[in-house]
Amino acid sequence: MALAGHFPFHSLNIDDCMSKIQLTKVEEHDDYLFVILRFPVLCGGSGCTPSQVSFFVGRDYLVSVHDGSIGALNDLFTSCEIKFKETGKFTQDGVGSLFYTIFSTIVNSLFPLMESLMDRLEDLEENVFSKNSEALYEITRLRRSIADVRRILSPIRRVIVEISDGVRRQTGDDLDLYFSDVHDRIEKIWELSETSKEIIEIYKDTDYTLYQHRMNRAIVILTVISTLTAPAVVIGTLYGMNIILPGSVNEQPWLFLGPYTTFIIMSILSLIPAGFMIAYFKRLGWL
């Protein structure tokens, strides 16, 4: 509220500064330009947290309101304080140039953030094709981070021209070329996010395909094992019944190969169909 006592700021704009849920917006008043910008910071496992920076741009003043979470902005203010102590000025070219410098510095700080996301994508590639690593959770976390970056940056792309026009009308500084350069850098970041989005979708589909392949392979192996043991189960079940069968205990047992003649004959009868099944499965490419 101290700002309202020293500057002609509208109370609604003051309230917007205090709120943490405002979207990117540009409002031009008679005496100043009010701008709210949101930038992605702290991209971690739960996505990217947005940080809000509000600006009041007047003819001979620039007021910024932020929570201090943007490191590049804090470093810039520190350097401005040092320069002010040395020269008595923050910049050499006025309010418009100072606003552009702040805006440009924050945009430049987004490139390391995107590089960190790209590094995570490279690490993810190894996990996707690794049999000993679970990539699903990292894919989900990266998809959320990339979606957050795109959701936060999308409004900024649309308001840069409006900001440039508003700064020119309020300060008289023609900085269209400079803001056009900022717009180009944001578009490069947007292209990186677009590429990251495409890559993460490819990894998601690849991980799902490989998972299905592994599951199908496991099902095939279990099916083969179950099928190969079926003859032995059938023959063993028959000879386990209390009925008269050749070589069973209820009839004269076979002894021409010794006391285990029946067991040997039953094993051979079980292995013969299993052998035919193995040959057939190899022909199908299952083995």
Token readout for 273 is 């169909």
Ramachandran angles phi, psi of 133, nearest 5°: -130, 140
Q: What is the CATH number of the domain that holds 94?
A: 1.20.58.340
CA distance 52 to 38: 4
Residue 47: helix, strand or coil by DSSP? strand
One-letter identity of residue 177:
L
Closest CA to 57 of 91, 88, 31: 31
CA distance 111 to 257: 81
Show the DSSP H helices in the chain as ranges. Answer: 2-6, 11-18, 71-87, 95-108, 110-128, 136-171, 176-239, 261-284
Q: Hey, which residues does 53 pair with through a beta bridge? A: 37, 66
Residue matched to tokens 């003649």? 261
Kindly state whether residues 47 and 118 are assigned to the same domain: yes
Kindly state whether residues 202 and 246 are assigned to the same domain: no
Q: Are 135 and 203 in contact (CB under 8 A)?
A: yes
Closest CA to 182 of 39, 64, 75: 39
Kindly state whether residues 244 and 107 are assigned to the same domain: no
Kindly state whether residues 138 and 195 are assigned to the same domain: yes
Looking at the whole model, is its pTM more than 0.85?
Answer: no
Q: Is residue 232 part of a domain?
A: no
Token readout for 220 is 């095939």
Q: What is the pLDDT of residues 180-227, one digit of tens each?
A: 999 999 999 999 999 989 988 888 888 888 878 778 877 877 777 777
CA distance 44 to 40: 11
pLDDT at 35: 92
CA distance 16 to 68: 17
pLDDT at 255: 63
Q: Hey, which residues does 256 pair with through a beta bridge? A: 258
Number of domains in the chain: 2
How many CB atoms sit inside 10 A of residue 224's CB?
Answer: 15
Among residues 160, 180, 214, the one where a domain terminates is 214
Domain coverage including residue 13: 2-214
In angstroms, how far is the first alpha carbon of the chain from the final one? 76
Kindly state whether residues 106 and 208 are assigned to the same domain: yes
Kindly state whether residues 191 and 253 are assigned to the same domain: no
Closest CA to 230 of 286, 177, 201, 271: 271
Query: What is the layout of strands, in order, in the sheet containing 25-28?
Result: 25-28, 32-44, 47-58, 62-66
- Residue 155 sits at the vertex; the CA angle it makes with 152 and 159, to the nearest 5 degrees, is 140
CA distance 111 to 18: 28
Distances (CA, A) of 50 to 15, 38, 45, 100, 138: 18, 6, 14, 20, 21
CA distance 196 to 121: 8
Kindly state whether residues 20 and 162 are assigned to the same domain: yes
Residues of the chain with pLDDT under 70: 1-5, 45, 88-92, 131-133, 235-263, 286-287
Q: Are 4 and 11 in contact (CB under 8 A)?
A: yes
CA distance 26 to 159: 7
Q: Is residue 192 part of a domain?
A: yes
Q: Is residue 223 part of a domain?
A: no
